Amino acid sequence: MTELSGWGRYPRHPSDVLSPSSPSAVPPFIASHTGLVSRGNGRAYGDAAIGEQVTLVTRRLDRIRAFDPATGRIRVEAGLLLADLLDVMVPKGFFPPVVPGTKFVTIGGMIASDVHGKNHHRDGGFGDHVESLTLALPDGGVAACSLTENGDLFRATIGGMGLTGTILEATLRLRPIETGWMRQQTIVASDLDAALEALRATADSTYSVAWIDCLAKGPSLGRSLIYAAEHATHREVDALRPGAKAFPPSRSGRLSVPLDLPPFALNRRSVAAFNEMYFRAGALKAGYPFLVHWNPYFFPLDGIGDWNRIYGRRGFLQYQCVVPTAHAGPALRSLLDRISHRGFASFLAVLKQMGPGHGDLSFPMEGFTLALDLPVSESVFPLLDELDRIVVEAGGRLYLAKDARQSPATFEAGYSGLPRFRDLRRAIGATGRISSRLSARLGI
């Protein structure tokens, strides 16, 4: 038994851990265990990748099996790290169609969580770009799945949190890029309305996202910096940074948080000071397009190893909700109002527009998503329950890959595809056999 937790280090549960060395070793493990779920690199924040009894770690299924430069089509094993894929493919002029906020996730985890990126409003979720996958089933069989073959199983597996079986391999299309640079433009929004407007206005951009100051109150409530970006062309690189290499190497030097910070290190004042500084520094750059390397643009926090330790030993919660466009303004205002008044320190708060979603348990829906980090404390749970009520009332839902604490009622209210997902689980014999702490907590 090993004590496992997600990236938020809350909650922690004991589990047996299996680590198959090959896709062919997975089906016998699944057939001979119960209360099992697979886990990639453990970057889901809460309890999604902790088996009720057994956790099957896929990290050793990390081979790239085929790549066609003519089409960008790539076939990989599910335990391949996105970071590894980027290292190999960016210098060849290819970029994943969708990347989340960290590159330390596996391809299998990206499918199971149907991760979204800064381009969701245009390109959809990661699952939209998966052409096919192979899935190890609860009965020890293996199924090839795509929209045309085992379509129901395919759709349920995308965003299905590993609860339909273990993804072994996936085939997807990468997008060609001319350079490894991003052409970024920053827009300053002085309040929430301006931020939403700026996100709508930048919807033509491939990538757009807002960093939002959760501690700003009153007339500044929701003040944000909006980052819009495109993959830079050769011509843009020549114009903005003459002589720069098309594919500059990533800097390998990493800072890291060497120890758990004590609980008082992050407080209202220290985070407010950080936010003020960050906002002003960002505002200075506003207006002019500039070049930034893909790595810090997409994965700013990956530069700081073990950044989850800044929240101390008790861990932290990430709260990410999405609310439909129709109710987004008022709902986001009341969410931010609650958060800023309580003064919970959150470094990382992100606001983003989402396009339509699909899939039974897949998170995205057309609207706006807000994500923030909160250190674990007694008083944070009642606040989040309050936020849940606002989200549910607005017809929104919470992201399962981030969740560690929502109630079954909140969950059921948000996911209308749940009954169908449960039916499918029963039909393939997954109910009770493929189960995580999350699925047990939420009754999936």
Partner 1 sequence: MNASRTLLLIGGTSDIGRATALCYAQAGWRVQLAARREEEARRNADDIAVRTGSEVTVHRLDVLETGQFESFIEGLPQLPDTVVCVVGELGDQQRGQTDLAHATQLLRTNFEGPALLLGSFAERFLERGSGTLVGVSSVAGDRGRGSNYLYGAAKAGFTAFLSGLRNRLAPAGLRVITVKPGFVRTQMTAGLKLPPVLTAQAEEVGRAIFAAAETGKSDVIYVRPVWRPVMMIIGSIPERIFKRLRL
Binding span for partner 1 by CB under 8 A among 14-22, 139-147, 155-163, 252-260: 14-22
- Asked if 66 interacts with partner 1 (CB under 8 A), we say yes
- Asked if 142 interacts with partner 1 (CB under 8 A), we say no
23-52 residues in contact with partner 1 (CB under 8 A) are 24
Pairing of strands 12-18, 54-57: parallel
| DSSP-based three-state secondary structure for 38 | strand
Contact flags string 189-218 toward partner 1, x per CB under 8 A: ------------------------------
Contact flags string 369-388 toward partner 1, x per CB under 8 A: --------------------
> Tokens 């309050």, residue?
386
- For residue 11, say if its preceding peptide bond is cis, omega within 30 degrees of 0: yes
Alpha-carbon distances of 240 from 227, 234, 291, rounded to whole Å: 18, 10, 7
Cβ proximity to partner 1: between 21 and 148 the closer is 21
The number of residues that bind partner 1 (CB under 8 A) is 13
275-294 residues in contact with partner 1 (CB under 8 A) are none
Q: Which of 14, 32, 65, 139 binds partner 1 (CB under 8 A)?
A: 65
- Asked if 274 interacts with partner 1 (CB under 8 A), we say no
Cβ proximity to partner 1: between 19 and 377 the closer is 19
Cβ proximity to partner 1: between 24 and 267 the closer is 24
Instruction: Say if residues 339 and 346 touch (Cβ distance below 8 Å).
Output: yes
The CB-side HSE value for 305 (13 A sphere, CA atoms) comes to 7
Minimum Å distance from CB 345 to partner 1?
35
Alpha-carbon distances of 132 from 60, 110, 146, 427, rounded to whole Å: 21, 14, 4, 21
Instruction: Say if residues 60 and 24 touch (Cβ distance below 8 Å).
Output: no
Minimum Å distance from CB 24 to partner 1?
7
Q: Which of 33, 34, 53, 64 binds partner 1 (CB under 8 A)?
A: 64
Q: Which of 77, 114, 128, 236 binds partner 1 (CB under 8 A)?
A: 77
- Asked if 88 interacts with partner 1 (CB under 8 A), we say yes
3-class SS string, 328-384:
HHHHHHHHHHHHHHHCCCCCCEEEEEECCCCCCCCCCCCEEEEEEEEECCCCHHHHH
Q: Which of 1, 2, 3, 21 binds partner 1 (CB under 8 A)?
A: 21
- Asked if 22 interacts with partner 1 (CB under 8 A), we say yes
CB atoms within 10 A of CB 316: 25
- Asked if 256 interacts with partner 1 (CB under 8 A), we say no
Minimum Å distance from CB 257 to partner 1?
20
Q: Which of 12, 63, 217, 342 binds partner 1 (CB under 8 A)?
A: 63
Exposure string over 168-198, b if 16+ CB within 10 A, otherwise e: bbbbbebeebebbbbbbbbbbbebbebbbeb
- Residues found near partner 1 in the complex (CB under 8 A): 19, 21-22, 24, 60, 63-67, 74, 77, 88
